């Protein structure tokens, strides 16, 4: 076995020395040495990377909806305070017009809920009026924000009807008091005349 490996080992060493001893001929002037890069040409690499026109990349989302959706989740569980905190964080982190509108609608919606720390029906109605003017036709907003906007519209209409009914009730109460006063005077006048006519 050792006798067989010795000739093979010797042949490998000879081939190695022959390969190392071969130096390419210099095409330059004598005395100028070739660098390794000039002596051995670099292989040409072809990469199959897509060009920008061929890229089927998904565009990155314009805004991060994490805090907005967490706020919706907290609101659905009845936790108005946590929902408010998430909506405020979303408003601070996202500066786009659509994101600001979404956050403002959610906060105005909280002002409409009686168990919310922000409950103020007049402020909710004013916020709705402002938000209705700020919504642009081409704005891409969350579907839940649109539902909240519609709820605010219904709430504002209901609030106006309640105010009208309260005004009507106040007017009717005042008219009723005047009529009762008139009936009382008429009764006194009638009783006074009937007593005067008695002998």
Domain count, the chain: 1
Q: Is residue 4 part of a domain?
A: no
Q: Are 163 and 187 in contact (CB under 8 A)?
A: no
Report d(CA 162, CA 59) in Å as an integer. Answer: 48
pLDDT tens per residue across all 199 residues of the chain: 555 556 656 666 655 556 555 555 544 555 555 555 555 566 676 666 656 555 565 554 567 788 999 999 999 999 999 999 999 999 999 988 999 999 999 999 999 888 888 888 888 888 888 888 888 888 888 999 999 999 898 988 888 888 788 888 889 999 888 899 888 888 888 877 666 565 5
Report d(CA 162, CA 169) in Å as an integer. Answer: 10
Q: Is residue 78 part of a domain?
A: yes
Sign of CA dihedral 76, 78, 84, 86: negative
Q: Is residue 150 part of a domain?
A: yes
Sign of CA dihedral 32, 36, 41, 42: negative
Q: Is residue 147 part of a domain?
A: yes
Q: Is residue 25 part of a domain?
A: no
Q: Which string of b and e fits 5-17 if b means at least 16 CB within 10 Å?
A: eeeeeeeeeeeee
Report d(CA 32, CA 135) in Å as an integer. Answer: 76
Q: Is residue 137 part of a domain?
A: yes
Range(s) of the domain holding residue 142 = 66-159
- The secondary structure of 143-188 as a DSSP string is HHHHHHHHHHHHHHHHHHHHHHHHHHHHHHHHHHHHHHHHHHHHHH
Report d(CA 20, CA 13) in Å as an integer. Answer: 11
Main-chain dihedrals φ then ψ at residue 25, nearest 5 degrees? -70, 145
């Amino acid at each position: 076995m050792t006798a067989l490996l010795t000739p093979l080992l010797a042949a490998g060493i000879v081939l190695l020395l022959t390969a190392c001893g071969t130096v390419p001929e210099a095409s330059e002037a004598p005395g100028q040495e070739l660098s390794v890069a000039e002596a051995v040409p670099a292989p040409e690499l072809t990469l199959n990377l897509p060009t920008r026109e061929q890229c089927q990349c998904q565009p990155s989302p314009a805004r991060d909806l994490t805090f907005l959706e967490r706020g919706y989740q907290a609101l659905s569980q009845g936790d108005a305070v946590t929902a408010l905190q998430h909506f405020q964080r979303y408003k601070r982190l996202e500066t786009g017009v659509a994101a600001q509108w979404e956050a403002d609608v959610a906060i105005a919606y909280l002002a409409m809920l009686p168990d919310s720390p922000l409950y103020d029906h007049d402020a909710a109605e004013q916020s709705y009026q402002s938000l209705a003017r700020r919504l642009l036709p081409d704005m891409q907003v969350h579907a839940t924000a649109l539902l909240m906007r519609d709820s605010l519209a219904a709430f504002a209409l209901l609030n106006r009807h309640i105010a009208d009914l309260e005004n009507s009730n106040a007017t009717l109460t005042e008219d009723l008091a005047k009529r009762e006063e008139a009936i009382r005077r008429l009764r006194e006048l009638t009783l006074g005349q009937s007593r005067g006519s008695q002998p």
